[in-house]
Structure 1
Amino acid sequence: MLKPLLLTTLLISTVALADPQIYYTTQSPSSSGFDQIQWPVTVNTAPSTGSTYYFALQANFIGDAKSAIYMGLQPRQANKNLVIFSTFGTGTAALSPNCHSGADGGSGTSCSIQYNWKKGTPYLLTMKRNTAESTDILQVWEGYIKDTTTQQQTQIGRFTVPTTRQGLQNSSLFFDEYFPFNAGPKDPTQRVCVPYAKLLVQSPIYGFNHVSYPATKITGSRVEAGKDKCAIAAGTPNAKLTAVPNSLDYVVETGFLSNPAR
């Protein structure tokens, strides 16, 4: 039986209004950090109009904790879904034509491709350092998406970051962002009820020198920050996490108060 998780640990992240959030960790084999993270995810239900949600996994570098790197899926209208791979911070540069300077209005680099990812299909997203092309000054990082039913892998983009960032920390964060809230009313009673979305979020797999290190623990979660008027009226968050037994995986739902007949 799936177990709903509605109680949360309020942890600071770079995404203030992105709920739910899940925090993962594992043991690190190297003081210089990981050189890869893979993330399995299946979006079962999401809006097919406009630009609303962003489902993503974020990690941070050992040498610069403020310079996040993240990848995820963005549902849009039919056949125009996006896959995004980005990093915050200064000293970055795009290596692919589908990448550009800047990330979420700040410094960094962001890459995206129009990719017809399908609802109900399991995908594996990967961000990894290309050690062969990295130098003493710059690291090359690459993002990929793989359809696990066909095993076809597609590159999202490539960029460089300063070598001073080192590798990735042994923690990461899943976030479910309804980004119209970022520029919308601060008063939750004035925010629209978010549309229904449901996805299976599996725990990430870290990597170092071609060896995999699955996440070993969930250190916290959050569902309350992105409240809307439906949540205020019902007195409960309009988002929930349901644990998959014998795993670190969760079924993530948002907007279930908005669409009781889903």
Structure 2
Amino acid sequence: MTSQNNPVAIVTGGATGVGRACVLQLAKRGFDVFLNYSRSESDALQTASDAGAFGTTITPVKCDVSQDAEVRAMLDRLRQQHGRLDVVVNNAAMTDFVPYSDLEGLTEAKWDRVLAVNLKGTFFVSRAAAELLTAGQGGAIVNVSSVAAITGMGSSIAYAASKAGVNSMTKSLAKTLAPKVRVNAVCPGPIDSRWIREGIPGWSIDEMVADYPIPKPSSPDDIADAVIFFALGTSMTTGQILSVDGGQTL
């Protein structure tokens, strides 16, 4: 049963990987969670079932975060169901694995889709959530960015640029929504997840991280730990960008 006393979170891209880890960690801490997904319905239902075992209400909601009307409808549904919102985790993202040297391969359509989901989607969700976040005692937005935003190197030029935009927007929103809402970003390095395994078949993530100070890829839970810190573990931190990358960016 939904309890008006439970804190409430929304996690975009919550069906798999880092999003799933965040949903589970929030549920374990007593949060009711809106679990957003766009395509992975079976994964979303499984994550909702697993998280629901902690005794809170997990609501899977299909929504393309790049579509403002869908985002607003999702937040209206959350308002009607829970009447409050405490934490937003902007994790939904996509990419096309386009070699940096293949400039012509990074088509306008690919640019538009990457920016629409990763950058506009993060803004749309934050904007739609702002009123609910500020209505109560205040809340937190945590954006899942990428070290590609810092190094300029990632799955594609468009992806790195979109995440650099997320970092800049994190600072802008932190100033705009202060003092009631804190806004921070986590920048993961390589994560041992389906994202990389399916995106670059046959590629060794272990080889990539072999010369890092901590020579191993992150797990989704490693990134979720940082998200939870920004969401719940600090009250005086806003506008900050934290790399969780095994020392890659040293």
How does the TM-score come out when normalised to structure 2?
0.31
Where is the strand percentage greater, Structure 1 or Structure 2? 1
How does the TM-score come out when normalised to structure 1?
0.30
